[in-house]
Structure 1
Amino acid sequence: MPRSFPLNPLKLSPERVDTLRSLALPLAGGLAVLLLLFAFVLVASEVIEGETHAIDMALLRAAKDFRDAHPLFAHVMRDLSGLGSTTVLTFFTVATAGYLLLVSARTHALVVVMASLSGALLVSLLKPAFGRLRPDVALADYTAYGLSFPSGHASMSAAVFLTLGVISASTRTRLAERLYILAMAAAAAVLVGLSRIALGVHWASDVLGGWALGTAWALGWSMVSFWLLRRR
């Protein structure tokens, strides 16, 4: 007979278990934010030193060759890229915040708006700070303007979609529903970032840095939301 292990070997009271859980979750979330920010700093340092140039160029040329061979692929990528545009993300943010206000979830609504606005401000400050130019237009599907690192589409789609996903998932009780919502939010952010590489309008390292930054931003603001609700 295999040995069974007790779920509560220390025989803690339910109240004590809840207290430990309430402490463990913020600590785990805070650690995740720090690790993601460290990943962003690591990518940024490699970009500044030029260590990513070789792989960035290889992926850029591979993307162009694939687009040339499969014209429909570029059309699909342009559609996916549009999901991370300022217009689309603003629509999702306003629509979600409006719904949250209708159901009296004011704290969640405020966090959704603040995560989006502060994320956009942060990216707008970081781009000129790094001053990285976009890939040569000869290798891109179309001319994109502005600086390159971090990718605004990758950063903001991760920040907005993941914030919306975490907050929406928190309103559901079934684990399957929560996982599905989070998976769809993550998939949207990933597809937007990949589309920018596929279209040749961003270096791959731009997108990688953007994902790390945007995910950290979403997780941080989600933690703020739950902390405010707990205080209330």
Structure 2
Amino acid sequence: MIDRLIDIFINKPGIYSGSGRIAVVKTPDAVLDGAEIRDIFVTEGVGTGEFTLRNTKVTGTIYVNGGSLVTIAAGATVNKIEVSGNNVEVVVNGKVDTITVNASNVSISGEGDLATVFVESGTGNSVTVSGANVIVAEGAGQVDRSNGDIEQREEDREESAPGSTIPGWPIKPPPIVSPPITDPYEICTIDEIELIDDIPGVDSRTFGGKTQL
């Protein structure tokens, strides 16, 4: 039953091709060339050997469980790579959107196009692909960026609105400052009035022709 779910089964060194949903790699020194596949499982059977993608499109995820070398050659495109095994080396010379690391001593290098690396756990990891955005989760070890790029701690990362590339979104409006409340008695204060005619019942004192109440 399980065999029926596997479209490409790589159990001997050599060059393979084809298309489908799932490929399983259980041997070192294998190449998947000119294929289109959804998910690839690189098992511990690869050992310390190498698995290479050439001119291949992976629309889903490559799951790397062994301590192997995985090479994404020029011309290959991968949506996502998830590394859960220690001592793995990933060489990106093609195009990879996302790599997630939950392991230690993982090396990610190459001269290809790598958008984002999420380091969720582990120590001794390194990312030297130029231009890659590296986000390190709280509690994960320091990531070596020997190419001079700066890693970004997850707790320091600013949220962005969906579909927006503006950092710090949403922008907070400036605080509203209410005008000071004026003493109503000051508004109604009458310093002096000039009486034209006598006002019955008003006891006034006149100074210089003006009357103060």
Q: Shorter-chain TM-score: which interval?
A: under 0.3
Higher share of residues assigned strand: 2
TM-score for both structures, normalised by structure 2: 0.16
TM-score for both structures, normalised by structure 1: 0.15
Query: Considering only CA atoms, is the larger Rg found in Structure 1 or Structure 2?
Result: 2
